[in-house]
Chains A and B, each alone.
Chain A
Amino acid sequence: MVPTQYYLVLSAILFGLGAVAFVFKRNIITIFMSIELMLNAVNLAFVAFSQAFGKVEGQVFVLFVIVVAAAEAAVGLGIIILIQRNRQSLNIEKVNLLKL
């Protein structure tokens, strides 16, 4: 079988890449997708621990995370459409209402 550590390292790498994408990308939709990538990385760690301990609680939590991600996608994409409608741009630099 595959050692648990391998899954955890993969999860850390995916989370790091998601964080990098979140900071470096300039398109709102891509930034939103990098959040989904980070959620996926956390799900992988949940399932890996669930298998390591032989308990299914981790998989139940994964279901909750997926539900939250779906709700978040519905609301977030609505907000993105509103931003595009109001600013005619998807560049995050143009959304600076709260910037000093």
Chain B
Amino acid sequence: MSPVLLIFFVLAGLAVLGALSLVLQKHPIHSALSLIVVMVCLAGLYLLMGAEFVAAVQIIVYGGAIMVLFIFVIMLLNAGAEERTDFSKLAKIAGLPLALALTASIAAAVVKPDPGVPAVTQVVIPNATEKISSMLFNEFVYPFELTSFLILVAILGALVLAQREKK
């Protein structure tokens, strides 16, 4: 087994374990920490694929900003362990098989040998970051400007939501 494949399996296993732990943990703060494990593992996989810029953004924005916001809110609200509520009988019996069927059907649809999709990842794209930046400011310049508008709207929305109590 080549070292690259070994690193892939270690990171992939850790990511799946983290996601499982997100589902199984009772306390939201434990779920949040598991999600951080998943995100760091995904950043490692992006590095493995040669997408350095995406890996850095993943760590900075997802691991650094979004998850800190989540943990901040969990601590601010002093969220306790999850209250268990009874599922319906149908959910108890059919839930897990249906979830497995969903995963299997997604995997089957995605993995189906398509002549268009190369079977093996190519060698690392050279100068990927440079290409991303030039693409972002040429072909994708309108969507890129729209995202700044989206963030402005999100800031305004968060402000309105936060200030509603004082009339």
Q: Which residues of B contact A75 (CB under 8 A)?
A: 154, 157-158, 161
Q: Is the pair B79, A20 in contact by a Cβ cutoff of 8 Å?
A: no
Shortest distance from the beta carbon of A22 to any chain B beta carbon, whole Å: 10
Q: How many residues of A contact B (CB 8 A)?
A: 74
In the bound complex, what is the Cα–Cα distance between A68 and B147 (angstroms)? 8
In the bound complex, what is the Cα–Cα distance between A3 and B33 (angstroms)? 29
Q: Is the pair A60, B135 in contact by a Cβ cutoff of 8 Å?
A: yes
Closest Cβ neighbor of B74 among chain A residues: A29
Q: Is the pair A16, B99 in contact by a Cβ cutoff of 8 Å?
A: yes
The majority secondary structure among interface residues of chain A is helix
Known: A17-B19, A73-B70. A64 touches B147 (CB 8 A): yes
Instruction: Tell me how many residue pairs across A and B have CB atoms closer than 8 Å.
Output: 234
In the bound complex, what is the Cα–Cα distance between A13 and B164 (angstroms)? 40
Q: Is the pair B32, A33 in contact by a Cβ cutoff of 8 Å?
A: yes
User: Which parts of B152-167 form the interface with A (CB within 8 Å)?
Assistant: 153-155, 157-158, 161-162, 164-165
Q: Which residues of B contact A78 (CB under 8 A)?
A: 157-158, 161-162
Shortest distance from the beta carbon of A75 to any chain B beta carbon, whole Å: 5
Shortest distance from the beta carbon of B116 to any chain A beta carbon, whole Å: 9
Q: Is the pair B132, A26 in contact by a Cβ cutoff of 8 Å?
A: no
Q: When each residue 109-122 of chain B gets 1 if its CB lies under 8 Å from chain A and 0 otherwise, what string results? A: 01100000111111
CB < 8 Å neighbour of B62 from A60, A69, A82 = A69
| Cross-chain pairs A/B with CB under 8 angstroms, 25 sampled | A1-B4, A4-B117, A9-B111, A11-B110, A12-B106, A12-B111, A13-B103, A13-B107, A15-B106, A16-B102, A21-B23, A24-B23, A32-B70, A33-B28, A33-B35, A34-B22, A40-B62, A44-B42, A47-B46, A51-B125, A59-B128, A60-B140, A63-B136, A74-B154, A82-B164
Q: A3-B121, A56-B135 are in contact. List 12 more A-B contacts (CB 8 A).
A: A4-B121, A10-B12, A10-B15, A27-B79, A30-B82, A33-B22, A33-B28, A36-B62, A40-B39, A48-B121, A56-B125, A74-B158
Those 3 A-B pairs whose CB atoms lie nearest each other, nearest first = A16-B103, A71-B154, A78-B161
Which of B's residues lie within 8 Å of A, judged by CB?
4-5, 8, 12, 15-16, 19-20, 22-23, 28, 31-32, 35, 38-39, 42, 45-46, 48-51, 53-54, 57-58, 61-62, 65-66, 69-70, 73-74, 76-77, 79, 82-85, 95, 99-100, 102-103, 106-107, 110-111, 117-125, 128, 131-132, 135-136, 140, 143, 147, 150-151, 153-155, 157-158, 161-162, 164-165
